[in-house]
Chains A and B, each alone.
Chain A
Amino acid sequence: MTGVYAALPLWVVMTSLVAALAIFALGESRRHARVAVNLAAAVLKVVLVAILLVGVYLGHDFGFRVTLLPGIDFVLHADSLTILLSTLSALLWLVTTIYAIGYLEGSPHRCRFFGFFSLCVAATMGVAAAGNLFTFFLFYELLTLATWPLVVHRGSAEALRAGALYLRYTLGGGAVLLIGIVALHTFTGTTAFRAGGSIPPESASIAVLTIVFLLLFVGMAVKAAVVPLHAWLPQAMVAPAPVSALLHAVAVVKAGAFGIVRLVQDVFGHDLTAHLGMDHVVAVTAGITIVYGSMRALAADDLKQRLAWSTVSQVSYIGLGIGIGGPLALIGGLVHLVHQGLMKITLFFCAGNLAETHGIKKVSQMDGAGRRMPWTMTAFSLGALGMIGLPPLAGFITKWYLGTGGIETGQYWVVGVLIASTLLNAAYFLPILARAWINEAPADATVGEAPAMLLWPAIITALFAGGAGFLAGMPWSPLYWVEFIAELYL
């Protein structure tokens, strides 16, 4: 029994994997069975992750290990960082599954869609639970493969182009990452994740370690959409709304950002990273990405494209926090992993509702949207204000910790980046809210809310996002958990 309990990370991954295979096996026509499998797997996963969460909090050891190659193991484990990503993914997957079932009602290829959708979540769970860089890479690449059919789901020329660009970036990044991992293993003999770093001292020269770090960083940065490796993300927004929500909030970009966290904190350790001078590389590229992404968002008229540029910008808050180092910045970066996920998924759900219900796809079409879809736009506003960082919403918590973290370590430029980013966030979100709530709707506009299966997920995630900010000081809030994580690294 203890063995079964200790292998819980494996069961968490397998839940989605088995669901994916079952959905493929069911075929296109058996709709009810597919919905049942989808929801059952999503609920089961939330339950399993909840058990895992409590177990990790109580200090239980979780692990599963198989030797895959001589000297190289496939390792799944669960530490507090694992919980951060897997809880987020499990909760949001459940919500997104409901949303996707409603969204794709009556459209073709649903079997294919939901099969790869589940596979995608299995891969994300694997990324979260990987116990070494080798295992991480397996799931990281699986994630690429599982998301491609979702990105090109519509089969239009535009979707196929976006899919090709997506693959070029992510597989290219994957190849760089692979060489980096093999090099790490060859020169240091380990790829394990351990709080504070797993590379034995003096195992390789500074030059070799620097090259290896850069290879690994570039490999992760592609998925995290760090400038200049970000071009795929704004294009990939041609995917159906639930896919965009998933890509932007929990799966692909988060896998990249999570990888950067693991790389700096668990493989090299912050001390060695700083010794190599690589912490500045991480922080500065993140800072540039934050400002650049916001500026591009300003210019985008397509709503989903604006949100996508906003993701480019916001995900790098995580890298910024990791790069700055120090307890406060670390907390700010890690907590944004959750905060950005909750807020961005809300915004994408709402964008999907606007497009599906009233055909609103551009910012310039949003006049009076607040009166046409009051609930959807309330949720949207909550997400947008959170992104801007209005106190006491989630984005504010992040920015507060990052800013004080920057000051604490004497890196005052961080405050400048945060101010610039906040102003830009306001500049690209507030006009949307102004149009939606203040401007009059066009005379021929239809009025009406989205169907319940599309509306409720947006409201629920908006409440999560609001709660993460309002209740940040309560036990079991994301902030509370991140402080629990930070104790490990300090």
Chain B
Amino acid sequence: MTEPAVLFAWCATLLIFVPLLAALAVYLVPGRRFGGALCLLVALGLFVPLVLASHALADAGALHFAFGGHTAPLGIELFADGLALAMLWLTNVLLLAVHCYTNSWLRQAPAFRATEFRALVLLLWSGLNGLFLSADLFNLYVMLEIVTLTAVPLVVFSRGPVALAAAMRYLLFALAGSIFYLLGVALIYAETGLLALRTLSPEALMGPAAVTALAVMTAGLAMKAALFPVHAWLPKAHAVAPSPASALLSALVAKAGAYLLVRLWLGPFATIDSAILLQGLAAVGVAGILYGSLQALRQSRLKGVVAYSTVAQLGYFLLLLPLASLVAWQGVIYHALTHGLAKTAMFLAAGNLIRQAGSDQLDRLAGADRFLGGSLMAIALAGVSLAGLPPTGGFIGKWWLVAASLEAGQWWWALSIGAGGLLAAGYVFRVLRHAMQEPSEPTPVPDHERVTPTMIWVPVALALASIGLGFTGDLLAPWLAIGAPFADTGGTP
């Protein structure tokens, strides 16, 4: 068991299959208590393979493992580098938090279909872990489908025509995205006969078929990731879903599409380095940052603000394409981690607001620190992190991205990042401004009983974690650099 690759294979297998089996168990064994306990157990237990896999990667660098010794192109390979590792950790931490929250949240919602909800979340989890560990185009497709088909039903749990319409729209976008992506995979397979990312040679991917494939795959993944301008499904679906589901959709599911996009463009297609194309894609990303932020500034509901903020924050992923340096790579991963923690904190806190004030209308927040202290603190801390103000994880990500822009001589992206941060501060402080307002007439303090201490502590802890990331930049930098597709330029100069 000392061989890092073998250790890694065991860990990866557990990460994918334990949630899958747990989903089955939750579905088959009745009882809410059992389901809640099992979910927590899985979330805690999976930290073991995660820690072991991290050590394996630290020892051996980025790892490939072929199941049953059948290597690509015939067998199925698993793969992990710093990016994958970061996403796996984020997934596990967020799922632990969401399960803790959900267990408490469900106690007040006897009519909620807890079993189905938990089973779907576990399946989603398995799909996400699989996606982050997969190393060939077709496996990635399968995992992407599992993620999509478990994510869409989560929206419907809110019941009612609005939720159904939002879920339908999400489903249509997601299926269109799948078709585009699959078309790309088919084209590449027809052209080269290969699927594994590492066997796809750059020479084979230069022809018109490969370029077409990249174009359709990018379009499909953009739909899944809700990148501007194909984001239309996201704000509605994320705003209407039950709060724990909104958190997962925003923090992880949308990011999965962006993750794959980065993998393709910086992996087998890295040779397509037409400056105009890359600059254009990043410009689309910036347009998304601006558009999402401006929309977030106009929302009247808290969850609407948070959902549009996701559209904005996903745009940062595309900045990595033209910058293409280790500093930018670390910056984008850091941004993804912080965003995941902060966004989850915000959605869960919004869930508390809905519980206590009856709705997440922003004007219900007036005088909210009387009854919403902890949740409001979570929103404020997470918001500060989203806006990239120091000393938070968002600030570290922003610093790296600005540094990468200036090092590459592309100062216009530095300006865009600055503008994006300001707009984010704008919508965050707009929410807080409502909370600082003195209510015009004394409103009755809502029912305290409906929110348990756990439901307050989970978002607060996540928000604090997103701030804590502001102090671990030096510590995590070497982990993020494992297997990065760029040579180490010695960190920042």
Give me the interface of A with B, judged by CB distance under 8 Å.
67-72, 109, 112, 137-138, 141-142, 144-145, 148-149, 152-156, 160, 163-164, 167, 171-172, 174-176, 178-179, 182-183, 185-187, 189
B369 & A186 in contact (Cβ 8 Å cutoff): no
Q: What is the 8 Å Cβ interface bit string for chain B, positions 390-409, against chain A (1 contact, 0 not)?
A: 11000010111011001100
Nearest opposing residue in chain B for A171, CB measure = B425
11 A-B pairs besides A178-B398, A183-B414 with CB distance below 8 A are: A69-B396, A69-B492, A72-B492, A155-B367, A155-B436, A172-B422, A175-B421, A178-B402, A182-B402, A182-B406, A186-B406
Contact A164:B406 (CB < 8 A) given known A69-B396, A172-B422 = no
Residues of B within 8 A of A141 (CB): 389-390
**Interchain nearest-CB distance for B380 vs A (Å):** 9
Residues of B within 8 A of A72 (CB): 399, 492
B433 & A152 in contact (Cβ 8 Å cutoff): yes
B267 CB within 8 Å of chain A: no
Q: What is the 8 Å Cβ interface bit string for chain B, positions 326-364, against chain A (1 contact, 0 not)?
A: 000000000000000000000000000000000000000
B438 & A156 in contact (Cβ 8 Å cutoff): yes
Residues of A within 8 A of B398 (CB): 178
B407 & A175 in contact (Cβ 8 Å cutoff): no
For the complex, give the distance between the alpha carbons of A186 and B369 in Å. Answer: 42
Listed by A's residue number, 15 A-B pairs whose Cβ atoms lie within 8 Å are A69-B399, A69-B473, A69-B474, A70-B491, A72-B492, A138-B390, A138-B391, A148-B429, A152-B433, A152-B436, A156-B438, A174-B389, A179-B418, A182-B414, A185-B403
For the complex, give the distance between the alpha carbons of A112 and B372 in Å. Answer: 13
Contact A71:B491 (CB < 8 A) given known A112-B369, A171-B425 = yes
Chain B residues touching A, range: 20 to 34
Which 3 A-B residue pairs are closest in the complex by CB-CB distance? A70-B491, A155-B438, A175-B418
For the complex, give the distance between the alpha carbons of A390 and B438 in Å. Answer: 44
**Interchain nearest-CB distance for A20 vs B (Å):** 13
User: Which of A70, A163, A178 is close to B474, meaning CB atoms less than 8 Å apart?
Assistant: A70
Give me the interface of B with A, judged by CB distance under 8 Å.
367, 369, 384, 389-391, 396, 398-400, 402-403, 406-407, 414-415, 418-419, 421-422, 425, 429, 433, 436-438, 471, 473-474, 477, 491-493
B390 & A109 in contact (Cβ 8 Å cutoff): no
Residues of B within 8 A of A189 (CB): 493
Contact A70:B436 (CB < 8 A) given known A137-B390, A179-B415 = no
**Interchain nearest-CB distance for A69 vs B (Å):** 4
Residues of B within 8 A of A187 (CB): 406
Residues of B within 8 A of A153 (CB): 436
B390 & A160 in contact (Cβ 8 Å cutoff): no
**Interchain nearest-CB distance for A146 vs B (Å):** 11
Describe A's contact surface by its main secondary structure. helix
A145 & B389 in contact (Cβ 8 Å cutoff): yes
Residues of B within 8 A of A176 (CB): 418
Nearest opposing residue in chain B for A176, CB measure = B418
For the complex, give the distance between the alpha carbons of A176 and B411 in Å. Answer: 13
A182 & B438 in contact (Cβ 8 Å cutoff): no
A68 & B473 in contact (Cβ 8 Å cutoff): yes
Nearest opposing residue in chain A for B493, CB measure = A189
For the complex, give the distance between the alpha carbons of A18 and B421 in Å. Answer: 28
For the complex, give the distance between the alpha carbons of A179 and B418 in Å. Answer: 7
Residues of A within 8 A of B477 (CB): 69-70
Contact A183:B390 (CB < 8 A) given known A160-B433, A171-B425 = no
B391 & A71 in contact (Cβ 8 Å cutoff): no
User: Which of A149, A155, A183, A186 is close to B437, meaning CB atoms less than 8 Å apart?
Assistant: A155
Residues of B within 8 A of A148 (CB): 429
Contact A68:B421 (CB < 8 A) given known A137-B390, A152-B433, A152-B436 = no
B437 & A160 in contact (Cβ 8 Å cutoff): yes
For the complex, give the distance between the alpha carbons of A68 and B407 in Å. Answer: 20
Nearest opposing residue in chain A for B326, CB measure = A70
User: Which of A67, A160, A172 is close to B436, meaning CB atoms less than 8 Å apart?
Assistant: A160
B418 & A178 in contact (Cβ 8 Å cutoff): yes
B422 & A175 in contact (Cβ 8 Å cutoff): yes
Residues of B within 8 A of A68 (CB): 396, 471, 473-474
Residues of A within 8 A of B403 (CB): 182, 185-186
**Interchain nearest-CB distance for A73 vs B (Å):** 9
A149 & B429 in contact (Cβ 8 Å cutoff): no
Residues of B within 8 A of A149 (CB): 436
User: Which of A154, A163, A172, A183 is close to B438, meaning CB atoms less than 8 Å apart?
Assistant: A154
Residues of B within 8 A of A179 (CB): 402, 414-415, 418
**Interchain nearest-CB distance for A459 vs B (Å):** 33
* Residue with the highest number of chain B CB atoms closer than 10 Å, among A70, A154, A167: A70
For the complex, give the distance between the alpha carbons of A400 and B367 in Å. Answer: 51
**Interchain nearest-CB distance for B309 vs A (Å):** 16
Residues of A within 8 A of B491 (CB): 69-71
* Residue with the highest number of chain B CB atoms closer than 10 Å, among A67, A68, A72, A187: A68
Residues of B within 8 A of A152 (CB): 433, 436
For the complex, give the distance between the alpha carbons of A141 and B433 in Å. Answer: 18
Residues of A within 8 A of B425 (CB): 167, 171
**Interchain nearest-CB distance for A122 vs B (Å):** 12
For the complex, give the distance between the alpha carbons of A271 and B403 in Å. Answer: 27
B433 & A164 in contact (Cβ 8 Å cutoff): yes
Nearest opposing residue in chain A for B434, CB measure = A160
Nearest opposing residue in chain B for A151, CB measure = B436
* Residue with the highest number of chain B CB atoms closer than 10 Å, among A172, A174, A175: A175
**Interchain nearest-CB distance for B21 vs A (Å):** 41
For the complex, give the distance between the alpha carbons of A187 and B406 in Å. Answer: 9
Residues of B within 8 A of A185 (CB): 403, 492
Residues of B within 8 A of A69 (CB): 396, 399-400, 473-474, 477, 491-492
**Interchain nearest-CB distance for A45 vs B (Å):** 21
Residues of A within 8 A of B396 (CB): 68-69
**Interchain nearest-CB distance for A377 vs B (Å):** 33
B429 & A164 in contact (Cβ 8 Å cutoff): yes
B384 & A145 in contact (Cβ 8 Å cutoff): yes
Nearest opposing residue in chain A for B473, CB measure = A69
A183 & B422 in contact (Cβ 8 Å cutoff): no
For the complex, give the distance between the alpha carbons of A155 and B438 in Å. Answer: 5
Contact A167:B429 (CB < 8 A) given known A70-B492, A109-B369, A182-B399 = yes
For the complex, give the distance between the alpha carbons of A144 and B384 in Å. Answer: 11
**Interchain nearest-CB distance for B450 vs A (Å):** 21
Residues of B within 8 A of A186 (CB): 403, 406-407, 492-493
**Interchain nearest-CB distance for B66 vs A (Å):** 34
Residues of B within 8 A of A167 (CB): 425, 429
**Interchain nearest-CB distance for A28 vs B (Å):** 9
Nearest opposing residue in chain B for A67, CB measure = B474
For the complex, give the distance between the alpha carbons of A172 and B369 in Å. Answer: 27
**Interchain nearest-CB distance for B486 vs A (Å):** 14
* Residue with the highest number of chain B CB atoms closer than 10 Å, among A154, A163, A164, A182: A182
For the complex, give the distance between the alpha carbons of A138 and B398 in Å. Answer: 13
For the complex, give the distance between the alpha carbons of A163 and B437 in Å. Answer: 11
**Interchain nearest-CB distance for A432 vs B (Å):** 32
**Interchain nearest-CB distance for A80 vs B (Å):** 26
Nearest opposing residue in chain A for B439, CB measure = A155
B471 & A71 in contact (Cβ 8 Å cutoff): no
**Interchain nearest-CB distance for B334 vs A (Å):** 10
For the complex, give the distance between the alpha carbons of A174 and B492 in Å. Answer: 22
Residues of A within 8 A of B492 (CB): 69-72, 185-186
**Interchain nearest-CB distance for A365 vs B (Å):** 26
**Interchain nearest-CB distance for B493 vs A (Å):** 6
**Interchain nearest-CB distance for A70 vs B (Å):** 3
Residues of B within 8 A of A174 (CB): 389
For the complex, give the distance between the alpha carbons of A67 and B396 in Å. Answer: 13
B399 & A163 in contact (Cβ 8 Å cutoff): no
* Residue with the highest number of chain B CB atoms closer than 10 Å, among A67, A71, A163, A176: A71
Residues of A within 8 A of B438 (CB): 154-156
For the complex, give the distance between the alpha carbons of A149 and B414 in Å. Answer: 29
For the complex, give the distance between the alpha carbons of A72 and B402 in Å. Answer: 14
Nearest opposing residue in chain B for A72, CB measure = B492
Residues of A within 8 A of B414 (CB): 179, 182-183
For the complex, give the distance between the alpha carbons of A241 and B422 in Å. Answer: 29
